[in-house]
Chain A
């Protein structure tokens, strides 16, 4: 995939540049950080690649973007993404992608669910010893080689990292709360984790979770 392949929308790239400029982190873009450096603020964006996209309005919480919901056990805030209608989403590429500073990730299988997906664990350090929280990407068929691996991608100029995780599934096994192809993307935002929720933004076109 080409570097700018994921920015099909110039608005999305503009938003990214705007955030980076606001935070005054251009120097971080130019100077690649040392591998063991403590990561700084980063933003995790929607994982489903094609555009345009919408998110499903659960209307579970008042006074926030209506797409936010928490239908997983635990303190996970989640968004369901759709590219089109019906089976339009089937086979759509799903990526972990984030911007601003390098982060340290591991990829594991999900436990305690009948749904298929990937658990992405975030660490504060390059040795991956200090737990910082985790993301869940559900209803996807993981690419082989993803689960059980670790990943430290960093592009020093463009200031983001990404990894292809898999593709949106057409169906799920029995017992999985699933009503059609889509991506369910969530993060553990418990007080002890590094994740914050973008409660009022539109996650389809803005960042979904912040790492701080």
Chain B
């Protein structure tokens, strides 16, 4: 009886261990990635009702719509990229998970305003060799993450001031569109949902030769705009 009980206990222990291993393997997808955490704190599709102020672009446009330094193209168009003025394709990339990598950057992507609870998870810096032989920051981005939320990514990049930033409208009936808006007097294009949906949210604006892009998913529109607005440089 005792032997049977011991066998049963051993069997149960082995089975439990096997289940644990299987559960861990499942949690890691069997591939070594961090365990997944559903974005349960993100806004649900039904809660995503706010749209930015401004003029919403019709999804069925058949000709480009120009707004400041942006050009919205009809769905299915192939957008052009702007490129760095007087630069080259010799780009050195630095990746870091250390927020200290953000210190002293000329292209500062740190927003003066950020909702509580978000922390730096990744810093990405591109330095391009310019025609004058000097290596210059041309693209800097920082990613903020928070458990059970989708990440927020802020990018600042140098573009040719004469270049129009081309974006493509989603097809008619889609749950994503663009609105021509303003942030502290600076023209901005906001990509957002047309109905309750967790579509990628983008706020883009240009000041001088710098394009700023704030990307997020399923966060409050007012908070998103406030983050972007805090990055607008006010002329003194």
B-binding residues in A (CB < 8 A): 64, 70-75, 106, 108-109, 111-116, 119, 121, 123, 127-131, 134, 141-150, 172-179, 188-194, 196-200, 210, 212
Given A114-B157, A189-B33; 18 other pairs, CB 8 A cutoff: A74-B122, A74-B141, A108-B170, A112-B157, A112-B211, A114-B83, A114-B84, A114-B138, A131-B217, A148-B77, A149-B171, A173-B82, A173-B83, A174-B86, A177-B93, A191-B36, A192-B150, A193-B36
In the complex the two chains form, is B95's CB within 8 Å of A70's CB?
yes
A177 CA / B84 CA spacing, docked (Å): 11
In the complex the two chains form, is A175's CB within 8 Å of B138's CB?
yes
A-binding residues in B (CB < 8 A): 28-39, 42, 45, 74-79, 81-89, 91, 93, 95, 121-122, 124, 126, 128, 138-139, 141-143, 145, 147-151, 153, 155, 157-159, 166-171, 174-176, 195-200, 202, 204, 211, 213, 215, 217-218
If A131-B198, A194-B36, A199-B31 touch, whether A112 touches B153 (CB-CB below 8 Å) is yes
Total A-B residue contacts, Cβ distance less than 8 Å: 202
Our pick among B75, B85, B158, B215 for the contact of A148 (Cβ within 8 Å) is B75
In the complex the two chains form, is B89's CB within 8 Å of A197's CB?
no
Interface of B is mostly: loop
15 contacts between A and B (CB under 8 A): A70-B122, A73-B124, A112-B211, A112-B213, A144-B78, A147-B79, A147-B168, A149-B170, A174-B83, A174-B84, A174-B87, A175-B84, A191-B34, A191-B147, A200-B31
Chain A residues with CB under 8 A of B37:
191-192
Chain A residues with CB under 8 A of B200:
108, 119, 121, 131, 134
* CB-nearest residue of chain A to B94: A71
Chain B residues with CB under 8 A of A197:
31-33
In the complex the two chains form, is B215's CB within 8 Å of A192's CB?
no
CB distance from B231 to the nearest CB of A (A): 13
In the complex the two chains form, is A192's CB within 8 Å of B151's CB?
yes
* CB-nearest residue of chain B to A196: B29
CB distance from A38 to the nearest CB of B (A): 13
If A108-B168, A112-B153, A192-B149 touch, whether A149 touches B76 (CB-CB below 8 Å) is yes
Chain B residues with CB under 8 A of A188:
151
CB distance from A86 to the nearest CB of B (A): 16
Chain A residues with CB under 8 A of B29:
196, 210, 212
Chain A residues with CB under 8 A of B83:
114, 173-176
CB distance from A72 to the nearest CB of B (A): 7
CB distance from A211 to the nearest CB of B (A): 10
Chain B residues with CB under 8 A of A64:
32
A70 CA / B32 CA spacing, docked (Å): 16
Residue from A119, A127, A141 whose CB has the most chain B CB atoms within 10 Å: A127
Our pick among B32, B84, B89, B121 for the contact of A200 (Cβ within 8 Å) is B32
If A74-B122, A173-B83 touch, whether A112 touches B141 (CB-CB below 8 Å) is yes
Chain A residues with CB under 8 A of B77:
144, 147-148
CB distance from A35 to the nearest CB of B (A): 16
A207 CA / B227 CA spacing, docked (Å): 37
Our pick among B42, B95, B174 for the contact of A106 (Cβ within 8 Å) is B174
In the complex the two chains form, is B91's CB within 8 Å of A148's CB?
no
CB distance from A104 to the nearest CB of B (A): 11
* CB-nearest residue of chain B to A71: B93
In the complex the two chains form, is B87's CB within 8 Å of A175's CB?
yes
* CB-nearest residue of chain A to B169: A148
A5 CA / B84 CA spacing, docked (Å): 39
CB distance from A122 to the nearest CB of B (A): 11
Our pick among A71, A141, A176, A189 for the contact of B89 (Cβ within 8 Å) is A176
Chain A residues with CB under 8 A of B202:
111
Chain B residues with CB under 8 A of A191:
34-37, 145, 147
Chain A residues with CB under 8 A of B196:
129
In the complex the two chains form, is A75's CB within 8 Å of B91's CB?
no
In the complex the two chains form, is A109's CB within 8 Å of B167's CB?
yes
In the complex the two chains form, is B31's CB within 8 Å of A72's CB?
no
A109 CA / B202 CA spacing, docked (Å): 12
